[in-house]
Structure 1
Amino acid sequence: MSGDVAELLAGSGVDVDVSSRRLAEYSYDASNYRVAPLAVAFPRHAEDVSRLVATCRRAGVPVVARGGGTSMAGNAIGRGVVIDTSRHMNSIVSIDAASRTAVVEPGVVLSQLTDAVERHTGNRLTFAPDPSSKNRATIGGSIGNDACGNHSVRYGRTGDHVVSLDVVLADGTRLTATRTALRATDSDDVAAVERASQLTADLKALATGYMAQFRLELGRIPRQVSGFHLANLLPENGFDVARALVGSEGTCAIVVGATMQLVDVPSSALLLIVAYDDVVDAARDVTTILKYSPAAIEGIDEQIVATMRARRGPDSVSELPAGRAWLYVDLDGEDDVAVEAQSRKLQGELRALGRALDCREVRDPVERRKLWRVREDGAGLSSRLELPDGSSVTSWPGWEDSAVAPEDLADYLADFRSLLERHGLIGVMYGHFGAGCMHIRITFDQRTPEGRQVMSDFLTAAARLVVRHGGTLSGEHGDGRARSELLPEMYSPTIMEAFSAFKRLFDPTNVLNPGMIVDPEPVTNSLALADIPALPWQTTFVLHDANGSGSGGFAEAVQSCIGVGRCRSHGSGVMCPSYRATGDEKDSTRGRARVLQDMVRGATSAEEGWASQDVREALDLCLSCKACSSDCPTGVDMATYKAEFLDHHYRGRLRPVAHYSLGWLPRWLAVTSRMAPLVNAVLASPMRPVGLRLGGLTTERPLPSFASRRQLRRELAPHRNGDGDVVLVVDSFTKGFRPDVAGAALRVVADAGHRADVRTDVCCGLTWISTGQLHQARKRLRRTAASLDDGSDRVIVVPEPSCAAALRKDLPELVDSPAAHRVARRVQSFAEYVSARRDAGWTPSAALPTSVTVQTHCHEYAVFGAATQVRALKAVGIDDVHEATGCCGVAGNFGFERQHFDVSMAVAEQALAPALRARPDAVVLTDGFSCHMQARQLTENPSPSASRHLAQILDPLERQE
């Protein structure tokens, strides 16, 4: 059937993909559901969409419009052709400060629009809607769901900012919907003019016929998003067709352009954190806080905070006052004095009410961003909850978007918790308390028939409960597959009839996103976790299943991706460098995880699954940077999944030659160290290109000089092993290419007051891990664990961050012995060691530079903490630190492989290359060998001194200018 659709659309001139890998990527969004499409299309402009839709309608093929794929209700997936507007239709056409409007294509990401508007207007205007997914959700998707965001108390829903919409109807007709009319986008298109006229008359007749019910049942509370927004067609609302189409989930028309209203940026702002013992207590104070006109009142409960601390360390939420629930209250105004006075008055009133445990004002922008990240990552963090007893449970959407009037929120939450208890479920609560909208993820069991029945029963009961409290099933996520079946619990038969009539006027043949809002399937149909084969996925890594236990659960591990799509962000953080380079869903962590999920659900045997060419292709551009294990809110560790897959995939098969030339690098270094001058001479000769091609390596990257044993001995000559109180592991990269770093590290350890036992005889197995040769890696790691497990608790310091990360994380997961765990706990990266010694009172004797550009090392970022290198520099007194936060692009073997060089250099342009150009004379910190090589590639002066290791910066023998 997919082949038939490809043939059908072949003449459209639009990029259409029907490959099984592509269909797997687009079978999911951020919801509980999986529905495989027939094809995925990537239009470049509105005319493409018009032709595609018209062709599909003639053939009776459904069409689903999709933006960032972040829908939690299942309304961005469907049978038929999925049109991804985020790939190419993502231009900001114009920004007009005078009219306070922006004209955009539907694939524009919200945060990109916000940033562009603020830059264009000198931070005077901004685009207001800011859902937690704002750094990957698109304008088109936000219009489809009527998304709101953290500051909806002040700015309302997306629909409140729509001026006009350019749309394509089910027959390909292009119309423009405005605040007062519906017209042909092209006034010379006679058929479109006639269609607009007829549709206008029909819509006015619909509004007249159902006027009383629209007024009684629609638009009752601020977050009433469920169903179609037909109250906007009433005379008192000006026959606002544009806003009537907002929230229609792509069922009536496909948005191909939008004119959006802009708002003022407040002159001053302050974040007030209020702690409570309970979320119900917090909800009872909302009406009091609303009297102070806050821009936001957001809430989280203790389960999200506990999970954040468990996953990212206590420092990630250190600014929160003591409590078990918290409100984030954003206050703003014209000046700091007025805002602070407002805050003090509010705090006094809250304390007088007696429910608030403590309050804390947060003014520092860095602290504010860190705290907002806890709230914004709520969906991902709450997907696997860390419980007080140390266990964890998995929670899911489905009832994650209900809303009531703010004054009814506390009573609703109290009753809702009782409902959870009656059904034996746990719910984690967070959301937009100021708007009465709750995002509650629940521990549904979707794998078994019994669990799905409990889910169905609970959802029906929850719908009746929220209606009893005067609320709505959805407050911004839409109804989709998750709630459309439940709409009759909320609306009368008359309103449901009106919804069907509205859908038919725009889409009489039911081609556009069928089954959303009107004529839905049961809420438990098409669940992604239902009926997955229970295959014995034997793994070398000890993988954690959905409940957090190390059971070797490969299927459960890859299912930890729930599709929130943070990996599609082009903003802060490090993941996912290949997606940022290509903009292709297949190169995102989510895209890879979805292909893996289809692998485990579709294979008839594990052997068949491990042989998947789709997965091999999806993983090809994964740099194994490990950043997803830290940045992904659900902790997806694609580097580990890739290593595990490659290990099985190539058993009994010939591997790529680079797996031997680079994967076995420690062995080759043992040889080259004996004949380094000869090897270096050959690599400097005309034979170099031939040798590199034979090894599967690019000829466009300069190779480092190989170090000899004599060089290493010379660096370590002053040292004698004995009764050292620190173990310094000189890893393969440092031995083979940067022996001067080993000497500097040894001197810094001594300067810090320690005596080092130097180990040059152990290996972390990293190159074998990254190329998926896990038997070889485990064999070496077993020897390493046995050798380093000396019965002491001495710190093990490793200069190369990637090797330190392998010993800290991969060693216990691959070997999983008491010795491995003991050794892993002792390992520190060099930057971590420096911070610890500085905290203990050490002052470096080296003359330090005043300013440093830091290339953040991905593995160190993921395993030891995002700010490890920066913290070390600031600890020793270097305050002017400029951070290139992003992968360097080399990432071990990746950037040296011939087929990956171009992507490697594109990744470098995300952070490192701009940082080097901005500060060409600055000292550049590149602790990782890969980072060091990329910096040399990008720097006009490719000498080794162009970038330095932290040990070299702190070397007491160094004398900085």
Structure 2
Amino acid sequence: MGTTASETHELERALTAAIGGRVDFSTATRAMFSTDASNYRHVPLAVVTPRTEEDVLAALAVCAERGVPVLPRGAGTSIGGQAANVAVVLDFTKHLNEVLEIDGERGLARVRPGIVLDALRERTSGHGLTFGPDPSTHSRCTLGGMIGNNACGSHSVAWGKTVDNVRSMRIALHDGTVLDVGRTTPEELARLKARGDRIGALYRDLGALVDREADEIRRSFPALPRRVSGYNLDALLPENGFDVARALVGSEGTCATILDATVELSRAPAVRALAVLGFPDNVTAADAVPALLGLPVLTMEGIDGRLVDALRARRPGSATGTDLPEGGAWLYLETGGDSPAEAAERARLVAAAGAKAGASTAVVTEPARQRALWRIREEGAGLATRLADGSEAWSGWEDAAVPPERLGEYLRAFEKLMGAHGRQGMVYGHFGDGCLHVRIDFPFTAPDARRRYRDFLTEAADLVVAYGGSLSGEHGDGQARAELLPKMFPPRIMSAFGAFKAAFDPAGLMNPNRIVDPAPMDADLRVLVAPPVLPTRAKLALHADDGDLAAASRRCVGVGKCVTASGGMMCPSYRATGEERNSTRGRARLLFEMLAGDVVKDGWRAPEVKEALDLCLGCKACKTDCPVGVDMASYKVEFLSRHYENRPRPMSHYGMGALPRWLRWGARMPRLVNAVTRSRLAPLLKRVGGVAAERSVPALAPSTLRRWWGRRTTGRPGGEPVVLWPDTFTNHFDPGAGKDAVAVLEALGYEVHLPERPVCCGLTWYSTGQLAPARRQLKNTLDVLEPWLDRGIPVIGLEPSCTAMLRRDAAELLPDDPRVAKLAALTRTFAELVDGAAELADLARPEPVLSQVHCHQHADLGYDADRAVLGKVSTEVDVLDGGCCGLAGNFGFERGHYDVSVACAEHELLPAVRAAAPGTAIHADGFSCRTQIRQLTGVEPVHLATLVARALGVSGT
């Protein structure tokens, strides 16, 4: 839809006057909502966030009056392109997200469209019930979006698709007409047809459609468990109760807007177990499916071995996939029961059936180990976007389905098709329902990209139809497959689809050009329609993307794991604000649009990008938690280096960004510095330095770690040598942790050394995008450490952020210096070094420990060794791994960040500290974490080195 500036202004004025929710025409928001999880890009006219049902109706009225298209949208994780359009987007994720009613006895729930699936399941779990369909996006997808897409998920073998679990809906048409829809008796249908209003016209049109095409509908709709393509016209057949609600499921917002829905709930098993069957390859696993159909299972999911390899590569040293039996592909078959014994026995029976089919088998009953295996499956859509050779893989032919009995032969033919086109991709999916997911390395940067994409999809559609299948088995048609529907349905059904949409939306303004009159499948491909216009060669190495910021910005495929309220550490600023621009996904899209220069026009000076990245804590959690490995902390560093090139920087960059330099001066007179920072001059100093007024400046230690070391007369020569890294924060603020580390290492027989000259990893300069001084600091450090590196002496880090800098980020700054690789290989955390020491055996005491995992350790270093060491000093350890402390280096000290910093800490850390039993040791290795805890709770936290020193009865003080 083309609109003039005056029309856009008038639309904004009218919407703002009509509704109480947010009306957003901003460049940033339109850019962020320009795509979903698909390959397509459509910049919306505006994004409206209705607070009430009245807001929804008012927005529809304004748009209807002006002939403006409308797109109701949930979490924006649709893969076919149905959740992006040139329209006014109604965003239901912030409000209208309540559970209105739960009827446990009847197994029903009435919900608003914005309710997240996991939130609904949490509410229903108290009744022993669940909503059966559970796509891998269950932590963020909304029920409205699930209904729009007819979502399915892993448990459809047991509980069906969303359409099988919808009882009724309350909907609004584009003209504002509100009605309840569901099953319709003949008598009720007659009454509805007799009405003289818009509702009567709707039912007359639908009734006429069924009268005219009932036999053709019966003939033309394939009888298979995963037919999601097209409209559900079969739900309108008399034998199916003329069910208008179920006919609308999967209509992708092209017919109506959901106001609320009543859904059917399923009895959830009290206990679950998992039988895992291993096969040589995917085809062999698919061949085994017919022999396994009919087993008492809740799932039958296929896993490509390359997904496991990808996850292991993302998390080196983790226990990923350790419970998988031998094989190159696997089937997950989940069982349920009223007791652990019952669930496990069923899993063993299933495993025995798998063994008869030639599979290697394993039965997993421990919930944590089951979750670890399911994580591989749930992150498949993200993991599959990068192949082993580093090439990008895309959706498009994402989820075709065939009768499960024919899955093996179809998969063989499909692999031949990919080979004929020179394509590759990882296959996984719902094998028990005959539905395959795959991301394919379509050559979108090739000159003939559109033709090759169209040719492949056309032949793939012919193939799946030849096997009696459906173009879409879960994710809907959208723009990716709607043009191909005539291959699956005859002309009369295609005309019936048009009549069905017209009955609800005669003006064609509800999410237009989807399903009916579809946009071409090779149009609007975001890589092609929004190519970068800025040079994309990064100043950082960006090894994961071969130094190309454009490829890095394309890493985000919209799966939306960063827009969740809980689970993992990503993304703390989104959880604090609830704003899309503060999510990893929102920031990645803004970077993509900045490079394209179409919507975000100011390049590296773009205020929209600067604002979005301003609240990025640089915590790195996305680097590990994001299924596609988006590394927003590094992208922020790259942006800051460009944004402030040849320009004045914020004072915080000169102050906190160069903190090690100022601390070297301050260490000469720590008492004077502390007196000044606590005097009446402190507010002025904080204002000048860009420090938040609410923050206290941490006190310098009376003596640095290095000075203590230089005056030390005792030591333990003769053991295995190690270099203890005197990071800036330990050295100047918390030298006690360093002293305890020395005491522990010497007690374990190590010969401890500190560098003879001052060293710094350059982290504070790096995190503020000051790359030149960061490189100078790092080169100086390499010069000092070089003799140790040449001898292969381990370098032991106490501060996780600095340790991660040495092990990971140094290679981004100095990729061509061979000493960087040596340093990374020799860098150890304190826990990695001491774990396994015989002296730590039998030391555990009953004093409880509450442990805060540093974000950089979570992302780059791993925490397994720390868990092990904590378990050796305490019998009661509670590890918090649900979010950032919120201080995050300089972030929480910078003016304007205090409220978000505290909100991040309140997500999990602060409540846990307050709730800790008296006598609990609060453990945090990160100086930022300890500072946040000190300043917001008054509790004094401790480093792991101090805990171990206490257990060993040694002290460095």
1:170 is aligned, of 174, 187, 197, to: 174
For the structure 1 residues 263 and 624, does the alpha-carbon distance in structure 2 shift closer, same or farther, using more than 3 Å as the test?
A: same
Q: Does structure 1 conserve the Cα–Cα contact (< 8 Å) formed by 2:888 and 2:928?
A: yes
**Amino acid paired to 2:286:** A
1:263 match: 266
- DSSP-derived class of the 2:701 partner: coil
2:946 match: 952
For the structure 1 residues 668 and 190, does the alpha-carbon distance in structure 2 shift closer, same or farther, using more than 3 Å as the test?
A: farther
1:98 is aligned, of 97, 105, 113, to: 105
Q: Does structure 2 conserve the Cα–Cα contact (< 8 Å) formed by 1:847 and 1:956?
A: no
* Structure 2 Cα separation of the partners of residues 708 and 151 of structure 1: 61
Q: Does 1:196 align with 2:199?
A: yes
1:590 match: 585
* Structure 2 Cα separation of the partners of residues 353 and 957 of structure 1: 53
* Structure 2 Cα separation of the partners of residues 294 and 176 of structure 1: 35
Q: Does 1:730 align with 2:726?
A: yes
Q: Deviation string for 1:566-612 (max 9, x for gaps)?
A: 1112221000001111111111000000000001122799x952121
For the structure 1 residues 438 and 103, does the alpha-carbon distance in structure 2 shift closer, same or farther, using more than 3 Å as the test?
A: same
1:803 match: 802
* Structure 2 Cα separation of the partners of residues 765 and 603 of structure 1: 36
Q: Deviation string for 1:608-640 (max 9, x for gaps)?
A: 521211110111110000000000011100000
What does 1:564-583 correspond to in 2, within 5 Å?
564-583=559-578
Q: Does structure 1 conserve the Cα–Cα contact (< 8 Å) formed by 2:705 and 2:738?
A: no
For the structure 1 residues 520 and 733, does the alpha-carbon distance in structure 2 shift closer, same or farther, using more than 3 Å as the test?
A: same
Q: Does structure 2 conserve the Cα–Cα contact (< 8 Å) formed by 1:448 and 1:530?
A: no
**Amino acid paired to 1:174:** V
2:855 match: 858
2:295 is aligned, of 286, 292, 295, to: 292
For the structure 1 residues 337 and 680, does the alpha-carbon distance in structure 2 shift closer, same or farther, using more than 3 Å as the test?
A: closer
1:248 match: 251
1:236 match: 239
Q: Deviation string for 1:169-227 (max 9, x for gaps)?
A: 0101122212337999xx9x999993223312221221111100111122511110100
Cα drift, residue 353 of structure 1: 3.0
1:751 is aligned, of 747, 751, 757, to: 747
2:770 match: 773
For the structure 1 residues 316 and 457, does the alpha-carbon distance in structure 2 shift closer, same or farther, using more than 3 Å as the test?
A: same
Q: Does structure 1 conserve the Cα–Cα contact (< 8 Å) formed by 2:183 and 2:244?
A: yes
* Structure 2 Cα separation of the partners of residues 156 and 150 of structure 1: 10
Q: Does structure 2 conserve the Cα–Cα contact (< 8 Å) formed by 1:832 and 1:864?
A: no
1:11 match: 17
* Structure 1 Cα separation of the partners of residues 84 and 302 of structure 2: 30
Cα drift, residue 79 of structure 1: 0.3
* Structure 1 Cα separation of the partners of residues 273 and 864 of structure 2: 25
Q: Deviation string for 1:29-69 (max 9, x for gaps)?
A: 10001111111111112211111112112212111111001
1:211 is aligned, of 209, 214, 221, to: 214
1:470 match: 468
* Structure 1 Cα separation of the partners of residues 608 and 198 of structure 2: 44
* Structure 2 Cα separation of the partners of residues 603 and 46 of structure 1: 34
Q: Does structure 1 conserve the Cα–Cα contact (< 8 Å) formed by 2:275 and 2:350?
A: no
* Structure 2 Cα separation of the partners of residues 88 and 483 of structure 1: 31
1:904 match: 901
Range with greater deviation from structure 2 (490-499 or 48-57): 48-57
Q: Does structure 2 conserve the Cα–Cα contact (< 8 Å) formed by 1:721 and 1:757?
A: no
* Structure 1 Cα separation of the partners of residues 599 and 58 of structure 2: 39
What does 1:453-852 correspond to in 2, within 5 Å?
453-530=451-528, 532-533=531-532, 535-544=534-543, 548=544, 550=546, 552-602=547-597, 609-709=603-703, 713-714=707-708, 717-718=712-713, 725-759=721-755, 761-790=758-787, 791-816=790-815, 817-835=817-835, 838=836, 840-843=837-840, 848=845, 850-852=847-849
Q: Does 1:116 align with 2:123?
A: yes
For the structure 1 residues 834 and 107, does the alpha-carbon distance in structure 2 shift closer, same or farther, using more than 3 Å as the test?
A: farther
For the structure 1 residues 193 and 317, does the alpha-carbon distance in structure 2 shift closer, same or farther, using more than 3 Å as the test?
A: farther
Cα drift, residue 842 of structure 1: 4.0
Range with greater deviation from structure 2 (376-385 or 262-271): 262-271
Q: Does structure 1 conserve the Cα–Cα contact (< 8 Å) formed by 2:534 and 2:603?
A: no
**Amino acid paired to 1:594:** R
Instruction: Give the structure-1-normalised TM-score.
Output: 0.94
Cα drift, residue 741 of structure 1: 0.8
* Structure 1 Cα separation of the partners of residues 647 and 706 of structure 2: 38
**Amino acid paired to 2:291:** T
**Amino acid paired to 1:55:** V
Cα drift, residue 668 of structure 1: 1.1
Q: Does structure 2 conserve the Cα–Cα contact (< 8 Å) formed by 1:176 and 1:182?
A: no
Range with greater deviation from structure 2 (736-745 or 950-959): 950-959
Cα drift, residue 881 of structure 1: 2.6
**Amino acid paired to 1:522:** P
* Structure 2 Cα separation of the partners of residues 511 and 292 of structure 1: 46
Q: Does 1:30 align with 2:8?
A: no
Q: Does structure 2 conserve the Cα–Cα contact (< 8 Å) formed by 1:747 and 1:956?
A: no
- DSSP-derived class of the 1:914 partner: helix
State, as a whole percentage, how many aligned pairs show the same letter: 45
Q: Does structure 2 conserve the Cα–Cα contact (< 8 Å) formed by 1:845 and 1:956?
A: no
Q: Does structure 1 conserve the Cα–Cα contact (< 8 Å) formed by 2:387 and 2:425?
A: no
1:378 match: 380
For the structure 1 residues 282 and 847, does the alpha-carbon distance in structure 2 shift closer, same or farther, using more than 3 Å as the test?
A: closer
Q: Does 1:870 align with 2:867?
A: yes
2:392 match: 394
* Structure 2 Cα separation of the partners of residues 138 and 33 of structure 1: 21
Range with greater deviation from structure 2 (567-576 or 696-705): 696-705
Range with greater deviation from structure 2 (341-350 or 478-487): 341-350
- Alignment root-mean-square deviation, CA: 2.4
Instruction: Give the structure-2-normalised TM-score.
Output: 0.94
* Structure 2 Cα separation of the partners of residues 854 and 880 of structure 1: 7
Q: Does structure 2 conserve the Cα–Cα contact (< 8 Å) formed by 1:627 and 1:858?
A: yes
* Structure 2 Cα separation of the partners of residues 33 and 754 of structure 1: 58
1:39 is aligned, of 37, 40, 46, to: 46
* Structure 2 Cα separation of the partners of residues 104 and 665 of structure 1: 52
* Structure 2 Cα separation of the partners of residues 383 and 425 of structure 1: 13
- DSSP-derived class of the 2:259 partner: strand
Aligned residues: 937
Q: Does structure 2 conserve the Cα–Cα contact (< 8 Å) formed by 1:170 and 1:511?
A: yes
Q: Does 1:425 align with 2:427?
A: no
* Structure 2 Cα separation of the partners of residues 674 and 288 of structure 1: 77
For the structure 1 residues 845 and 203, does the alpha-carbon distance in structure 2 shift closer, same or farther, using more than 3 Å as the test?
A: closer
* Structure 2 Cα separation of the partners of residues 182 and 782 of structure 1: 82
Cα drift, residue 827 of structure 1: 1.0
* Structure 1 Cα separation of the partners of residues 528 and 54 of structure 2: 39
- DSSP-derived class of the 2:71 partner: strand
1:359 match: 361
**Amino acid paired to 1:115:** E
1:350 is aligned, of 350, 354, 357, to: 354
**Amino acid paired to 1:796:** V
- DSSP-derived class of the 1:385 partner: coil
* Structure 1 Cα separation of the partners of residues 203 and 88 of structure 2: 28
Cα drift, residue 95 of structure 1: 2.1
Q: Deviation string for 1:234-278 (max 9, x for gaps)?
A: 110111111111000000001121112111111332101110001
**Amino acid paired to 1:702:** S
Q: Does structure 2 conserve the Cα–Cα contact (< 8 Å) formed by 1:277 and 1:325?
A: yes
- Consecutive unaligned residues in structure 2, runs of 5 or more: none
- DSSP-derived class of the 1:64 partner: strand
- DSSP-derived class of the 1:207 partner: helix
- DSSP-derived class of the 2:115 partner: coil
Q: Does structure 1 conserve the Cα–Cα contact (< 8 Å) formed by 2:686 and 2:692?
A: yes
2:883 match: 886
* Structure 2 Cα separation of the partners of residues 574 and 158 of structure 1: 30
For the structure 1 residues 926 and 332, does the alpha-carbon distance in structure 2 shift closer, same or farther, using more than 3 Å as the test?
A: same
Cα drift, residue 498 of structure 1: 0.2
Cα drift, residue 692 of structure 1: 1.5
* Structure 2 Cα separation of the partners of residues 215 and 304 of structure 1: 39
Cα drift, residue 328 of structure 1: 0.5
Q: Deviation string for 1:879-921 (max 9, x for gaps)?
A: 5334252100100111111201001111111110121122142
